[in-house]
Amino acid sequence: MTESEAVNHTVVDRVFRVSLNRPPANALGLPLVTGLERALDSFEKSDARVLVITSALDGFFAAVADIKLMGSFSGAGGAADFAAYGEQLRSPLNRLSASERPSIAAIEGLALGGGLELALACTLRVGSRTARLGLPEATLGLVPGAGGTQRLPRLIGRGRALDIMLTARDVLAQEAYTIGLLDRLVEPGTAADEAMALATTLCGRSGDALTQIMRCVDDAADLPLEQGLAREAERVNELYTGPEATEGLQAFLAKRRPNYV
């Protein structure tokens, strides 16, 4: 299967929708990884404001990295091949996490291992009540190697992240929502539609403001409070002199909807 077959994308009303389609379980092998890279290339060149990642497969968002591929690495070059695959896998996830524009994962069914790490790289996660999430790498003698050990504790806290990773257990949707691993909990079969509706809402907000809010929240996890507050002040002052804040304030005073280009 080629990357163009494994990852498709469409743009609807400035929402860039990516669909993962690598049967049977959307394992994050090279076709999906390369397809994600190309989709991100297109997203970055587009005027879309929000990216949404969905799955075309019933019962799977994305389940683990490509274990068959990892198991095929052998001989003197095995370790180097594994390291190269890891770098390829981490690349699109790191790009997604660092994007200046918001992204949303729409999770139906299983999001395990690399699949959950892909969802963690997104800004927000919408999951159905049938979703199951987990990082089972400890059962393979490995650690989550595509950002899971770093992004999960930042999202839900050290203790909860350790519980999930050390036990390698599946987290059911209700618990995932309760602990903040899912941001929206929706009825089965509606995650993609709900994610698209959320993306449409975000498209109506100031893109500059959304970018700076995401960066400020990142600062909250990485910087001491005083430094984070200083960065927040810098960003709001910079936004105030920009065209989108001008439009937003004028629209509010005129009692009309703002028009963010």
The set of catalytic residues is 117, 137
- Residue 239: which residues within 8 A CB-CB, separation 6 or more? 208, 209, 212, 245
- Residue 232: which residues within 8 A CB-CB, separation 6 or more? 216, 219
- Residue 34: which residues within 8 A CB-CB, separation 6 or more? 3, 88
On whether the CB atoms of residues 96 and 122 are closer than 8 A, the answer is yes
- Tell how strand 7-12 and strand 15-20 pair up: antiparallel
Which residue type does 127 have?
G
Q: Closest Cα to residue 161, out of 126, 133, 123, 191?
A: 133
Hunting for tokens 């729409």 — which residue is that? 106
On whether the CB atoms of residues 46 and 80 are closer than 8 A, the answer is no
Q: Residue 156: CA atoms inside 13 Å, Cβ hemisphere, count?
A: 21
The span from the CA of 33 to the CA of 39, in Å, is: 10
The span from the CA of 14 to the CA of 49, in Å, is: 6
The span from the CA of 1 to the CA of 217, in Å, is: 39
Report the SS3 class of residue 255: coil
**Could you tell me how many helices (H) and strands (E) the chain has, helices first?**
12, 10
